[in-house]
Amino acid sequence: MTQLTGQPTTDDDIVHLTVPADGGYLGVLRTATAGLAARLQFALDEIEDLRIAVDEACAMLLAIAPRGAELDCRFAVTEDALTVEVTVPTVRDARLPAESSFAWKVLTALTTSASATATDGRATISLLTRRASGW
């Protein structure tokens, strides 16, 4: 399996969390994000940036999720990067914020890359962050 980073991964390098699509559960995802980034020896400011980016991505998705939905978060760990994909079912005719919006400017400023898709009643935001600091 090859992730967005272009590096091979194994099933051991994937963490999948599902939580209710409710802002009260975002702390679980922020904590998991910080823990995995720390495992990769990201610098403290890189960890905080990634936590903020995951929080912002989730907030974007919660705004278009139906009541009672679940938020799926998949973390892919490679040697020097962490990819986070957050997915949620959407309400009819849901739209993600435009890439020119403030929310997207935050995501792209805090990560190496960010992208989104919305098809077949589901929306996904993918974030890739490479470790800037050396070992």
Which pLDDT score, from 0 to 100, does residue 3 have?
46
Which pLDDT score, from 0 to 100, does residue 21 have?
96
Q: CA–CA separation, 91 vs 40, rounded Å?
A: 36
Q: CA–CA separation, 106 vs 92, rounded Å?
A: 26
Q: For the purposes of burial, counting CB atoms within 10 Å of the CB of 50, is it exposed (0-12), middle (13-18) or buried (19 or more)?
A: buried
4-59 pLDDT per residue, tens: 445 554 445 899 999 999 999 999 999 999 999 999 999 999 999 999 999 999 99
For residue 77, the cross-strand partners are 82
81-115 pLDDT per residue, tens: 999 999 999 999 888 888 889 989 999 999 999 99
Which pLDDT score, from 0 to 100, does residue 98 have?
87
